[in-house]
Amino acid sequence: MEDIIAIIILISAVYFFVKWLIGTKSGNALDGGIRGVTPSMVETVHSAFPHIPVPNIVYHLSRTRSAQATSEEILERGMLPPPPPTFSIPASLIPTVASQPAPTSSSNNTNTKAANARTQSLIDRYNLSSRLPSHKGKEKAEGEPAHMDNKWEESKEKRELGLRERKEKMILEARKRMLEKQAKQQVTS
């Protein structure tokens, strides 16, 4: 009697193992996809990190099966390792541009404004052209505040003014560094 129970348990374990090993896969694996990876996961990660190549995203998702873990890996490292050369991406997992909904007339107006804002430089956006140095960054910008104390001002207006001045100073310094870097690249080229 004890042998029969052990044999039944062994046969059922082997049956479920074989069924799991060669059985039908869940999700979109029937379309040639990867088990545990859905197109929505790929689109979510790719929309959050468009600079990461899709093959890297799909490969990492196939290993982790978690969009959150893949996003955390990108945030920690700034990139994902490339897939091996033998890794093939199923066509069902490649995100399509056509899957995005067509913009309506009200959102079209906001999209146009957003496109114009992206093409406008920070110098124009914050009206800093008067504070640009005339000799390509060789002299200090005039109108810089003499005091840059990090004390907390009493009134809201003074705090806003101080924050605006700091932002303008950071933009001008970043522009100066960028121009210096471009000049160095032109000299070496």
- Sorted by where each begins, the domain ranges of the chain are 26-98, 120-188
Tokens of 37: 């990876």
181 versus 147: the higher-pLDDT residue is 181
The whole-number average pLDDT for the span 106-111 is 50
The residue among 179, 167, 183 whose CA lies nearest residue 122 is: 167
> What is the rounded CA–CA span in Å between residue 59 and residue 64?
9
Model-level pTM greater than 0.85?
no
Question: Each residue of 20-53: pLDDT tens digit?
Answer: 887 655 444 444 567 788 888 899 899 888 999 9
Q: With cut-offs at 50, 70 and 90, classify the pLDDT of residue 98.
A: very low
Contacts of 114-123 spanning 24+ positions with Cβ under 8 A: 122/171, 122/175, 123/171, 123/175
Summary mean pLDDT of the chain: 76
